[in-house]
Amino acid sequence: MKFLEENTGEKLLDICLGSEVFEMTPWSWQMMWQLTPVEFSEAEYPRIEYHRRQQFWDPIRLALFTLAIAAIIGIAIGIVTHFVVEDDKSFYYLASFKVSNIKYKENYAVRSSREFTERSHQIERMMSKIFRRPSGGGRFVKSHVIKISPDEKGVNVLMVLMFRYPSTDSAERIKKKIERILYQSLKIKQLPLTIYKSSFSLTPINSKKMRDLLNNRCGIRMTSSNMPLPASSSMERIVNGRETAMEGEWPWQASLQLIGSGHQCGASLISNTWLLTAAHCFRKNKNSSQWIATFGTTITPPAVRRRVGKIILHEEYHKITNENDIALAQLTTRVEFSNIVQRVCLPDSYIKLPPKTSVFVTGFGSIVDDGPTQNKLRQARVETISTDVCNRKDVYDGLITPGMLCAGFMEGKIDACKGDSGGPLVYDNHDIWYIVGIVSWGQSCALPKKPGVYTRVATYRDWIASKTGI
Ligand code: 4AZ
């Protein structure tokens, strides 16, 4: 007993907690020392229990226990992945419904008309109100009206709705969810438009059908992510700005290149054959057979490449004053619209952007004054500046004519630069992008009180229509 007391003291416990736990029981101590079995005192019982528990972990039990733990961890990871990391997929639906409190107007048939634009924005806003609920989990992405047609009780609306749900979800199940949300809203929400519930139909469509339907629409970006564009940092500019995050973010951007000399200017796709650019881009060379246009976020490799068949400069372009710095280039073969290549919308001549409106400029131009062309497309958010301010003595001292538009910041830092010329300055109107400016000129790049000067596209809307029919 004494011996055991000595050998089952702290020392034994230490050993038992170590790797030799199965060997170092009181029994094994006893065997080791060739002793006869002994009785244990009351005080020893807990310790004996402890050792029994250790024996409970025989190798099979240990293996089973490990397996069970691994399974639990696996399931937990699966659940977390499902809810947190689950790959979201875009689901598209074609919705059609009757609205009773809209009287049909003839101009609804003209997609570029003010009537169609305003009415479809109202309908799209209403859809956002219905689906962009706090509990909606950001599932609703956007909607676009495709057609407003007459109906004896008002108008018929055809529109596409885009949602993002986990890829494991089914289009039919999502359809039911969408219908439930819509019907609830029709009952409880004060909506500006009266939709007949019985007229509402929703059809799941695939991304190709969605593209086909929206191809009739300009200025739509179909980026794989629908994350909003991050705000630009205070130091951002195409000079020092950020690269475009993904393919398809600026699908109308083209690079105009002289065969053998590479990128010269930017340009914007306004139809499947026409590019809008700056007249000064062709000062060196007006021979269309020497030019090519590429699309995609990198110059090399390009996503799409086309030859240029025709170049039209504005008849009144003045290289000294930079007035009417606008030109058109026609591709020899049309481009297929896709997620990567799309046309931008042309603004109606009535469009007027107030000062300090956020607009984006994109291009492959240099990031320092007189620097090299960038292979990866860059972008910067700038703000419109009123012509009055831009014509101030300390700014451009009266050089800004009605066909020009200033954008940037009075403190400088963010600007387009050499090589961005001819490229787009675009404005986002309810997810539809309009080209409001063409990079034209400026005193150096990103200097204080010397913002970028752009060709004001709205001024030339009729000129563009007269040359292209668009
Ligand atoms: C250029 O030389 C150029 N900062 C383009 C834009 C600006 C200045 C110069 C505006 O093509």
β-strand partners of 242: 379
Tell me which residue has tokens 């290549």. 341
**Cβ atoms of residues 230 and 221 within 8 Å:** no
When divided into structural domains, the chain yields a total of 3
pLDDT value of residue 77 = 61
Any domain includes 362: yes
- Asked if the bond preceding 192 is cis, omega within 30° of 0, the reply is no
pLDDT value of residue 164 = 84
Reported pTM = 0.69
How far lies 284's CA from each of 280, 288, 420, in Å? 8, 12, 16
The last residue of one of the domains, among 312, 331, 350, is 331
* Pair 319, 369 in one domain: no
Any domain includes 140: yes
pLDDT value of residue 2 = 36
Any domain includes 279: yes
pLDDT value of residue 435 = 98
pLDDT value of residue 75 = 66
Task: Note every long-range contact of 319-325, with CB atoms under 8 Å and residues 24 or more positions apart, other chains counting.
Answer: 319/280, 319/283, 321/399, 321/401, 322/280, 322/399, 322/404, 322/440, 322/441, 322/453, 323/401, 323/403, 323/404, 324/279, 324/403, 324/455, 324/460, 325/278, 325/279, 325/280, 325/438, 325/440, 325/441, 325/455
Any domain includes 16: no
Ligand 1 contact, 445 CB (< 6 A): yes
Helix axes 10-17, 45-56, angle to 10 degrees: 10
Mutate to test the pocket of ligand 1, among 255, 445, 449 (most ligand atoms within 8 A of CB): 445
Q: Rounded to the nearest whole angstrom, what is the distance from the C-alpha of residue 452 to the centroid of ligand 1?
A: 7
* Coil, helix or strand at residue 44: helix
* Pair 207, 280 in one domain: no
pLDDT value of residue 286 = 98
Of 332, 356, 344, which is closest to residue 423 (Cα–Cα)? 344
Ligand 1 contact, 441 CB (< 6 A): yes
Domain that holds residue 313: 253-331
Q: What share of the chain is helix, strand, coil (3-state, %, to 5)?
A: 30, 30, 45
**Residue nearest (by alpha carbon) to ligand 1 atom 11:** 418
**Residue nearest (by alpha carbon) to ligand 1 atom 4:** 445
Residue 132, CB-side half-sphere exposure with 13 Å CA sphere:
11
Tell me which DSSP letter residue 85 carries: I
* Pair 318, 415 in one domain: no
d(CA 467, CA 448): 38
* Pair 321, 388 in one domain: no
* Pair 321, 380 in one domain: no
Active site residues: 280, 325, 421
**Cβ atoms of residues 101 and 123 within 8 Å:** no
Q: Rounded to the nearest whole angstrom, what is the distance from the C-alpha of residue 398 to the centroid of ligand 1?
A: 18
The last residue of one of the domains, among 295, 315, 331, is 331
* Coil, helix or strand at residue 375: coil
pLDDT averages per 10-residue partition of the chain, 470 residues:
36 31 40 41 49 64 80 65 61 94 93 87 89 73 91 93 89 92 84 90 89 81 51 46 80 98 98 98 98 97 98 98 98 93 90 94 93 95 98 98 98 96 94 94 97 98 96
* Pair 200, 97 in one domain: yes
Atom of ligand 1 nearest to the CA of 445: 4
* Coil, helix or strand at residue 141: strand
Q: Rounded to the nearest whole angstrom, what is the distance from the C-alpha of residue 444 to the centroid of ligand 1?
A: 6
d(CA 267, CA 155): 39
Ligand 1 contact, 439 CB (< 6 A): yes
* Pair 101, 208 in one domain: yes
Ligand 1 contact, 343 CB (< 6 A): no
Tell me which DSSP letter residue 83 carries: I
Q: Which tokens belong to 418?
A: 């050499």
pLDDT value of residue 65 = 74
Ligand 1 contact, 363 CB (< 6 A): no
Q: Rounded to the nearest whole angstrom, what is the distance from the C-alpha of residue 439 to the centroid of ligand 1?
A: 7
Any domain includes 350: no
Ligand 1 contact, 236 CB (< 6 A): no
CATH number of the CATH domain containing 382: 2.40.10.10
* Pair 108, 172 in one domain: yes
pLDDT value of residue 219 = 92
